[in-house]
Amino acid sequence: DVFEQPQHIGHKKIEFHISTEIPAVLQINSEKEEKNGKRVYLYASTEEINNTGFGRIFPAPSSNDKMETEEEDDEIPSEFISRKDLEKNRLSREEMEKFSVFKNYEPGDPNCRIYVKNLAKQVQEKDLKFIFGRYVDFQSEVERNMFDIRLMKEGRMKGQAFIGLPNEKAAAKALKEANGYVLFEKPMVVQFARSARPKQDANEGKRKK
């Protein structure tokens, strides 16, 4: 008796409910899908939605990745000038040709020291640090020590500066990006210094002038 009752009442009901529910769901879905030809479409659409969802998520990081690579390129603290500002305030080649200071311009032989001339009277060392500090890794004690700014404020060398950078690569990048940058309404002329020795640098600066 104990085993018979659940078999007659409970077991059959459970079986019927399960067997009727599953086909009903399948039939309703299959009928709807087959009628409108949506069987593939519905599943495709859900996948498409998922794909587009992921597609929308991925481009955002990818665009951020681009920005990160640019910033990586920059990799500079906010206390120094950004590459965008450098580009924005730098003369084009055509514009440079209009200035006599660029007439016989030659970058010189690559080394870790650069020579800057045509600086405005109000330029201070902090202004040059703001621009050229972006090429120095200040977390490295070695690079920090190699970074050196000598701004000439008096005599015939006035308006010129010598800047020591950590290596030739940094100096080449500084020359490429900062040459023609307009600082206090005057475009800077950036070249490789002809000698790493300050005294000779000074002499070279006089000869150039």
pLDDT, tens only, 24-65 = 545 545 454 454 544 444 444 444 444 554 444 444 444 444
In a domain, 107, yes or no: yes
Q: What percent of the chain has pLDDT over 70?
A: 56
Domain count of the chain? 1
User: Are 195 and 204 within 8 A, CB to CB?
Assistant: yes
Instruction: Provide the 10 A C-beta neighbour count for residue 117.
Output: 17
- Helix, strand or coil for residue 113? strand
In a domain, 207, yes or no: no
Would you state the structure tokens that stand for residue 179, as one six-digit string?
Answer: 């040459």
In a domain, 123, yes or no: yes
Would you state the structure tokens that stand for residue 110, as one six-digit string?
Answer: 């690559």
Q: Cite the beta strand spans of 106-188 per DSSP E.
A: 113-117, 148-152, 160-164, 182-183, 186-187
- Residue 109's nearest CA partner among 169, 165, 191, 177 is 191
- Average of per-residue pLDDT across 76-96: 89
In a domain, 145, yes or no: yes
Rounded to 5 degrees, what are φ and ψ at 192? Answer: -75, 135
Q: pLDDT for 178-200, tens place per residue? A: 999 999 999 999 999 986 444 44
- Contacts with 14 (C-beta within 8 Å, 6 or more apart), sequence order: none
Instruction: Provide the 10 A C-beta neighbour count for residue 91.
Output: 17
Which residue in this structure is represented by tokens 């079986």?
15
Range of the structural domain that residue 163 is part of: 83-192
- Helix, strand or coil for residue 169? helix
Comparison of pLDDT for 75 and 164, the residue scoring more: 164
User: Are 171 and 190 within 8 A, CB to CB?
Assistant: no
* CATH code at position 155: 3.30.70.330
- Identity at 199, one-letter amino acid code: K
In a domain, 25, yes or no: no
In a domain, 203, yes or no: no
Is the pTM here over 0.85, yes or no?
Answer: no
